[in-house]
């Protein structure tokens, strides 16, 4: 799936929504996006559109945003499945942004299940009552040289602006010409659930590489403390 820079700049977390129901046509478009999206890995995931009432029944926690609709996102609670889910979640978010819908990804406590898959995150969405982002400089992010090491990538600012839980950006890209080793850097001393969520953050950032053509190759690398190898992205130039 190809992405464009305008959509990536435009997307920001929207926390204020109009509660007018979306048209059937719009809801059908959203269902099509979900059914057509291609995963990064051959891992199971499941997405379900739910109302605010249903969402507040299956989730807990103080950081839930009030929105007319939510997408409940399920996968196994394992690193590769979560990287894959994060990748899909962000591609859906960007496609919804293209439809002028506001979104915010919500990490929350939930014991909800879909078959063997666990509830991981929600995406609140609907007609936004806030403006989209106009300038990439308005996004507060870590410096590029903290996230990218090695050769300079033109698209780096558009990868760096990817959303992450608590805006922690627990990611490192080591760039060697057209090959990029991707690592998860453990941030804070997180509890297990939050710790796993950071694999979603890595998948979210990888999805932004759809600005160009790429494939991934999983190589053997030794992990260091707080630095876990995820995959190698190979840019097809
Ligand atoms: C996995 C994940 C979980 C998140 N959980 C919440 C949340 O519970 N509540 C919330 O208001 N924002 C949540 N966010 C949104 C982030 O705070 C936001 O993406 C980040 O601060 C960057 O801001 P931006 O999305 O406007 O660019 C979450 C984002 C991600 C990727």
Q: Give residue 142's domain range.
A: 136-235
- Residue-wise pLDDT for 162-208, tens only, equals 999 999 999 999 999 999 999 999 877 667 667 889 999 999 999 99
Find out whether 121 and 200 touch, Cβ atoms under 8 Å. yes
Nearest atom (ligand 1) to Cα of 61: 8
- Residue-wise pLDDT for 50-108, tens only, equals 999 999 999 998 888 999 999 999 999 999 999 999 999 999 999 999 999 999 999 98
Domain at 220, CATH number: 3.40.109.30
On whether both 111 and 189 belong to a single domain, the answer is no
On whether both 140 and 195 belong to a single domain, the answer is yes
Of 188, 211, 208, 210, the C-alpha closest to 198 is 188
On whether both 64 and 155 belong to a single domain, the answer is no
User: Which residue has the CA at smallest separation from atom 11 of ligand 1?
Assistant: 63
User: Which residue has the CA at smallest separation from atom 22 of ligand 1?
Assistant: 163
**Is the C-beta atom of 167 inside 6 A of ligand 1?**
yes
Of 51, 130, 40, the C-alpha closest to 89 is 40
**Is the C-beta atom of 33 inside 6 A of ligand 1?**
no
Number of domains in the chain: 2
Domain at 114, CATH number: 3.40.109.10
**Is the C-beta atom of 201 inside 6 A of ligand 1?**
yes
């Amino acid at each position: 799936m190809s992405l464009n820079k305008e959509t990536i700049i435009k997307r920001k977390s929207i926390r204020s929504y109009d509660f007018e129901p979306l048209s059937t046509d719009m809801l059908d478009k959203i269902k099509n996006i979900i059914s057509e999206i291609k995963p990064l890995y051959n891992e199971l995931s499941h997405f379900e559109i739910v109302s605010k009432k249903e969402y507040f029944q299956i989730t807990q926690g103080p950081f839930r945003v009030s929105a007319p609709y939510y997408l409940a996102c399920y996968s196994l609670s394992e690193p590769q499945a979560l990287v894959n889910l994060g990748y899909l979640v962000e591609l859906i978010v960007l496609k919804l942004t293209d439809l002028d819908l506001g979104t915010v990804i919500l990490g929350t406590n939930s014991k909800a299940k879909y078959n063997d898959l666990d509830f991981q995150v929600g995406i609140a969405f609907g007609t936004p009552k806030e403006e989209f982002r106009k300038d990439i400089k308005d996004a507060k992010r870590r410096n590029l040289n903290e996230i990218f090491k090695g050769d300079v990538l033109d698209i780096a600012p558009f990868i760096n602006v990817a959303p992450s839980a608590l805006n922690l950006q627990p990611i490192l890209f080591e760039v060697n010409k057209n090959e990029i080793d991707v690592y998860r850097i453990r941030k804070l001393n997180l509890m297990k659930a939050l710790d796993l969520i950071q694999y979603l953050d890595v998948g979210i950032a990888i999805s932004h590489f759809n600005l160009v053509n790429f494939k991934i190759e999983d190589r053997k690398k030794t992990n260091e403390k707080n630095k876990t190898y995820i995959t190698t992205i190979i840019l097809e130039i």
